[in-house]
Structure 1
Amino acid sequence: MKPGLNPPPHSKWVSGLLLLPLLGLGLTAGCSATEPANDAAPAPSSSASASSSSSSSSSSAKATPSAPASSSPAGAEEATEEEAEAVVQSPQPAPEPVFDEAQKQFLQDKVPEGNDPNAILQVGEERCDQLTSANAVDTDAVLSELIMNPTQDTSDAIVSLCPGLRPVLEAATLGFPDGVFTVGEAAPWAEEPSIAPGTYRAYGMSEECSISVYSGSGDLIGSFDGTQPLSVGADAARVESTQCYSWSRA
């Protein structure tokens, strides 16, 4: 080795001592540069947490008022339905019936309190329909029916609702059914039934029809079978009819 080319033995230590401070500064600078980065890293996390918390609070705050808003229309709908039901279920007054003069005449004194006058009127009109239809086929049958089964309601119905049958009704008041009658006036349904003198004919004319006429003394004037008209004179006091159904003025 040439003299002057080899460094002195202590030159390595000198250069090492010179490098140590530089390395130390470098290490210190490195540590100081990295440490703030490590300290700053959690900051975004807490900020995000705060933001998330704020967002959650905001969401919660927005969700709270929405509950009444959703329940309000349902409550209003229920109230509307209840009001509608109340309107439907509320009782409505029945319309006042309207009757013409003939119908009013028929219904007079026939409708007890609380009864429907239309129902009573319907009965009278149906009775008129039946009698009118039968009269178109057999007037004598209707006459016999009115003689044997007279009722005030039927008479009132004819007078008020089907006046076309009045002649048949008037003829029926002069006739009489089977039974025992005194001779005097036409009152076959009175407490003491009687008939007026006159000429009568039987409706049924059955084989069993029989009528007997007696004088005031109780003597038999005559018995007849109904195949011929019967004359009841002023000398007759009583008549007895069986199985002849009805007798009408001839």
Structure 2
Amino acid sequence: MGQRIPLLEVKDFTLQFKQYGRGLKQIETRVISGFTLDVHAGEIVAVVGASGSGKSLLAHAILGILPSNAATGGSLKFKGEELSQSLKERLRGKEISLIPQSVSYLDPLMTTGKQIESPLRKAANAVKSVMNRFQLGDDAKNKYPFQLSGGMARRVLIGTALTSGAELVIADEPTPGLHKSMVDETLGSLKELAALGRGVLMITHDIDLAFVVADRIAVFNKGLTVEVADAKAFEASPDNVKHPYSKALWHALPQNGFHSVRGKDYGEEIDAGCDAGEEDDA
């Protein structure tokens, strides 16, 4: 039997930005270097790294929504086909769906009900089912984004993406600001998608969430994939991962001592970027 073709294949991916420095001198800033991972149908792969490390830019590159001063290298493939900009635009919101980090992705001129209904193209009862699942009352259906709380707006984004029918769902920090019940519902929904044969790429700084939901964890540091490890093995012991940065992340977790490690073996201090971000979003 031949090897399965991944839904998403990222190989030696690089990303840099052209900017102007002093005196109109143009400089290039590289934020991702040699990033490699794959996501197969039926699995959840989590990309874990510090906040502000550039993880979200990978999602934007896959979807083709990078700013005009971005330059990329390496390879991005969907189901074995190179992702050109035109293909990204055709797949975006259909075969590849995004749960974005920012609620600003909601259309300010469209009501909640219409935003959920748009990718579904289904009857009103389907919209009602989604809204009930994510605890959005009947009155929220006719509200515009500016009328929603931050937590409600995030739930609309999650509900819309998870019911889009996409084969690949990219969840970019999907849970900050949500009540624990909604965090659990969101993670459960991601697991359901994988059980249905879809692929999920979850981008997060919260390694504890990755342990709960992911099959594999790609550890991201300074624009590089330093290691891809089995999530359950990684959770059990730092001895199950090879890279010093991965080991340091494990030791930085609260249940493992909440240690920040500095020294020649790690090269830098690793802080536990694993705050739950779970607060009441009523």
- For the pair shown, the structure with the greater C-alpha radius of gyration is 1
Normalised by the size of structure 2, how large is the TM-score? 0.23
Structure having greater relative contact order (Cα 8 Å, sep ≥ 6): 2
Normalised by the size of structure 1, how large is the TM-score? 0.25
Q: Which has the higher helix share?
A: 1
